[in-house]
Structure 1
């Protein structure tokens, strides 16, 4: 069992806070997701999360004009300099103050950052090794309150800043003789942003109260004319260079959006287009300088926190942090390019499809979302439930999703027509806390947490078949045996029970534990059962003999993290020292578990030792991340992290409470979210595992590209000899040598060099010890290669030539089979989509061929 799982992707969270930026080519957008950064490729429809983490939630990001350097700054002003293409951290830096904005100059030589009432301009580091990569160029002062935004002129010689002191100021990067920084005043509220036009002869400023001012650099007309009797040669005229000039407000416009405040704005210089986002979820597009309203649309129920425009001005990106929404809008065609939203509250449960391509999640917001593990996007959301989702499961065929909720219903969703086609209810209202679907997909069971009963329904008819009673406490977990037709349930009454759901002839077995049972899981062969108890123990049971075969004490492994209000240390705390979710690996040799802490542990069952422990997040914005608390952060009023010292609610409308008397909105409390893992699941292919956590849906996968793992390597096997053998058309020998060297590029080269007519012969003569490696390579290469028929020819010939061996060793090749099933299923979906989109074109071509 390999344990070198690396962080692969983050789903379930698309936008948390901060600003959005497009890449210079305009095809991708960067979005902060907590203390990580996700890149959404809008052309290839794929989302990728960077592997590095900031200390806290990212507040501002900036990308250099040539898209080589990326700077991400968290809430405390700690920054990370990253090589964007390689996704490697180059340097850590602390601005020692909250950064409201950071921008690279258009030429890429400098970047400017706000620092309280000041502005700092830094030199952009180069690509050679430097003792101090980031050097301060100059510090600028002049504002009387915090600086909000920075915007550079197109020539990179000037930049304009806006502040909460209701003014904007123009600075020069380098000292210019005779130049004095200009102050633009006249607004009656905080200035959100200011931008130069492309010709730099005009400037636009937008304030929070909805005012837009147009400023132009004009000459000052003389107040008095000279007398006609004055000497014409001496004082009659003034040279053009000596005419005094200043910035003057020539136009004043106002946005009238039902008393809504301006939250964010962006300006596209080449098309003179202004996009403004308001606090009521409405955005508008205005053409300048005529101030014509091109478009207005309501896209969110909450305020729009960030807006960005791509290079061509065709796509607009919007982020709403209250609901976690990210939208990309093509305003000319009035259509969505991207529309994603994560779970509004915590993510409680997850389940993999049988091919490992999809993951279904359920959250506290009552929504069921299905995510594609390859692209990282959510492709369907079901909002039929009215309360918290407690469990989700895929049917074995992968086309049906089941979900259980506290609203007293179990629902079945069709992933072909995207609809809720079955709703299962109980005779009396109960709250369902667990769910299980039998391997055939004909029976669905759900356990209640208030009546302590298990309800059994038929999926075909939707009728209630049976009610299983016997537990004396809330039921915490259900699971069907993968091979036998019986059900296992665990409960807070310290027992695990097995039920014969179909025959009712077998007596109910009861496995007694020393503490409350929180979770259970079957081994893939169905012969072993594992249960997790409140005291941190993992108990393993032989299902046939009803005997306990072993235990693992995981209290010390899973415990960790001290909350800000904890009176005792993390080591002495009793909370969070148990597993609330378990899952066996695909081969059944290890088990993975997660709980109310920042750790996820994987154990080897045979030796009962800890194989590896992962930290799901190092985000200090979450509670329970630190092992030790600093006493200087504790005050008489409580922890400093829980005291709201932000002045964003300084306005009267933000502080006004419009709630009815006697009501209290608990969501408005300043409570830090607690880091924990609600569910962990291994992919059926065994190549990855996922965790539903406070951060989102974290996916960890095996990284084989960076690992040198030779197999039967000899001194005469080199890249040169492999290529020589390939040139001699000894395909089998070259392929075997490539596998022994285990360099993917040479394996791929030998694989593709084999003619389709010789595949049958090579597959028949391939030694069986290389069979697993070749099938794994084909399964992984299918996702990136366009050679559809070539892959299918290989799969067919391998299965035909080595069918008996594969059948006798089906347990060893289980993960390989599922990987091939995933790859073939993906090819089938892509090909079916292309064919369906071109049905009429194909019919027309065939009809024309018949005529000719």
Structure 2
């Protein structure tokens, strides 16, 4: 005798939720310009083009990712969001020229600095528990003492927007990448401008420290990575042309491996010195990617793109990737190796990202064969 329909429904309700490799993607109402991941909890914050900020608790258990709070304090597009080191505060900057400090637990506004810049603010970097740096669309860099709510450094040495800011481990030197094609160097302790690099082709769109701070890498709108030696900021020591429309953001994973995102929608993992594209971590189909982040556990890479999605990628094995010193033969199909399960789908377009295990003949190719991405040099 067949079981009653009520019994089937009861069994479905008791079925445990599915546990996935990564949290479910977040579908937002508007494009997220920026994301920030909590330093110790499974919480992500997104700032969107409407000026809203959303906080979510993410989970690999199906249906468990939930919105915690939302904030609409900015009048215009929210350009960047960042957590404090202890995760208790959230900082945001906007096209409305304001700096906001929110309580990370509730999303309530704690501090607002109206008119922090005379031009829309585009870049934000937390320096320590008291200092933060901002950069605007006109090329001005400011460092703020949040105990007083005033700037202790206010300098304009760029002719175009500030795209990205980073600081060294000692919190002494600030580096700014600009749309004018230069890297700026500022001394935070002495509150002065130090120097500016030579002009590069295209905008400098991002900046990151690699090789334990001995190398500085800048992405560009031309799809080239420009590499500087620390204390040698005047001219590049190396450059690496990536087959991408641009390199819009850089996220260091190890001292030698970084993930870069591009306007073509791909997230590439790249090894620095020797300079190699390891493969594809993931993609937003045909849509530019605004920012990358990494979970506090180190396992998930997170990306936000113009498809209004925030996506999670499993990069747990990426830090163990090994790169051959010699240059391999150029792949005739031009495909990227897939580095995560979600980096390809069943359709032909994504199936093209899957690279089969290289056979022994390919492994034995001699050095000097042309490869997809060329580097001017692989020297330290």
**TM tier, smaller:** 0.5 to 0.7
Structure 1 residue 491 corresponds to structure 2 residue 220: yes
CA distance in structure 1 between the partners assigned to 2:190 and 2:43 by the alignment? 41
Structure 1 unmatched runs, 5+: 17-32, 37-49, 54-339, 557-573, 612-852
| Total equivalences in the alignment | 274
Q: State the shift of 1:424 in Å.
A: 2.2
Is the CA contact (8 Å cut-off) linking 1:509 and 1:546 kept in structure 2? no
Match of 1:581 in 2: 291
Q: State the shift of 1:491 in Å.
A: 0.6
3-state DSSP class of the match of 1:483?
Answer: helix
Match of 1:248 in 2: none
CA distance in structure 2 between the partners assigned to 1:424 and 1:505 by the alignment? 19
Distance verdict in 2 for CA 1:522–1:416, change over 3 Å: same
Q: State the shift of 1:8 in Å.
A: 6.9
Is the CA contact (8 Å cut-off) linking 2:282 and 2:313 kept in structure 1? no
Distance verdict in 2 for CA 1:519–1:482, change over 3 Å: same
Q: State the shift of 1:3 in Å.
A: 3.1
CA distance in structure 2 between the partners assigned to 1:533 and 1:520 by the alignment? 9
Structure 1 residue 431 corresponds to structure 2 residue 161: yes
Match of 2:310 in 1: 600
Deviation above 6 Å: which 4+ runs of structure 1? 4-13, 33-36
CA distance in structure 2 between the partners assigned to 1:457 and 1:35 by the alignment? 33
Q: State the shift of 1:411 in Å.
A: 0.8
3-state DSSP class of the match of 1:342?
Answer: coil
From 182, 197, 222, the equivalent of 1:468 is 197
Distance verdict in 2 for CA 1:490–1:385, change over 3 Å: same
Q: State the shift of 1:380 in Å.
A: 1.6
Match of 1:368 in 2: 99
Structure 1 residue 448 corresponds to structure 2 residue 178: yes
CA distance in structure 1 between the partners assigned to 2:94 and 2:184 by the alignment? 22
Structure 1 residue 389 corresponds to structure 2 residue 142: no
Match of 2:23 in 1: 3
Is the CA contact (8 Å cut-off) linking 2:172 and 2:188 kept in structure 1? yes
Distance verdict in 2 for CA 1:501–1:482, change over 3 Å: closer
Q: By percentage of residues, which structure has more helix?
A: 1
3-state DSSP class of the match of 1:610?
Answer: helix
Structure 1 residue 353 corresponds to structure 2 residue 63: no
3-state DSSP class of the match of 2:152?
Answer: strand
Distance verdict in 2 for CA 1:445–1:609, change over 3 Å: same
CA distance in structure 2 between the partners assigned to 1:526 and 1:342 by the alignment? 38
CA distance in structure 2 between the partners assigned to 1:374 and 1:508 by the alignment? 44
Q: State the shift of 1:610 in Å.
A: 2.3
CA distance in structure 1 between the partners assigned to 2:236 and 2:192 by the alignment? 25
Q: State the shift of 1:406 in Å.
A: 1.1
Structure 2 unmatched runs, 5+: 1-20, 27-41, 56-65, 318-338, 344-380
CA distance in structure 1 between the partners assigned to 2:46 and 2:300 by the alignment? 25
Is the CA contact (8 Å cut-off) linking 2:139 and 2:160 kept in structure 1? yes
Distance verdict in 2 for CA 1:35–1:583, change over 3 Å: closer
Is the CA contact (8 Å cut-off) linking 1:481 and 1:487 kept in structure 2? yes
From 497, 519, 529, the equivalent of 2:258 is 529
Distance verdict in 2 for CA 1:470–1:34, change over 3 Å: closer
Match of 1:479 in 2: 208
CA distance in structure 1 between the partners assigned to 2:276 and 2:126 by the alignment? 30
Is the CA contact (8 Å cut-off) linking 2:208 and 2:251 kept in structure 1? yes
Distance verdict in 2 for CA 1:12–1:580, change over 3 Å: closer
- Please list the CA deviations of residues 273-329 of structure 1 after superposition, one character each: whole Å capped at 9, or x if unmatched: xxxxxxxxxxxxxxxxxxxxxxxxxxxxxxxxxxxxxxxxxxxxxxxxxxxxxxxxx
CA distance in structure 1 between the partners assigned to 2:231 and 2:117 by the alignment? 29
3-state DSSP class of the match of 2:248?
Answer: strand
Q: State the shift of 1:440 in Å.
A: 1.9
Is the CA contact (8 Å cut-off) linking 1:471 and 1:493 kept in structure 2? no
- Please list the CA deviations of residues 664-722 of structure 1 after superposition, one character each: whole Å capped at 9, or x if unmatched: xxxxxxxxxxxxxxxxxxxxxxxxxxxxxxxxxxxxxxxxxxxxxxxxxxxxxxxxxxx
Q: State the shift of 1:581 in Å.
A: 0.8
Match of 2:342 in 1: 610
Structure whose alpha-carbon radius of gyration is higher: 1
Equivalences for residues 114-513 of structure 1 within 5 A: 342-382=73-113, 383-395=115-127, 397-426=128-157, 429-449=159-179, 451-481=180-210, 483-502=212-231, 508-513=237-242
- Please list the CA deviations of residues 488-536 of structure 1 after superposition, one character each: whole Å capped at 9, or x if unmatched: 110111111221232569962322112222211111x322111112222
Q: State the shift of 1:548 in Å.
A: 1.9
CA distance in structure 2 between the partners assigned to 1:511 and 1:51 by the alignment? 40
Is the CA contact (8 Å cut-off) linking 1:488 and 1:499 kept in structure 2? yes
CA distance in structure 2 between the partners assigned to 1:432 and 1:11 by the alignment? 20
Match of 2:354 in 1: none
- Please list the CA deviations of residues 762-786 of structure 1 after superposition, one character each: whole Å capped at 9, or x if unmatched: xxxxxxxxxxxxxxxxxxxxxxxxx
Equivalences for residues 39-54 of structure 1 within 5 A: 51=67
Is the CA contact (8 Å cut-off) linking 1:12 and 1:343 kept in structure 2? no
Q: Which has the higher contact order (CA 8 A, sep 6+)?
A: 2
Q: State the shift of 1:348 in Å.
A: 0.9
Root mean square deviation of aligned Cα: 3.7
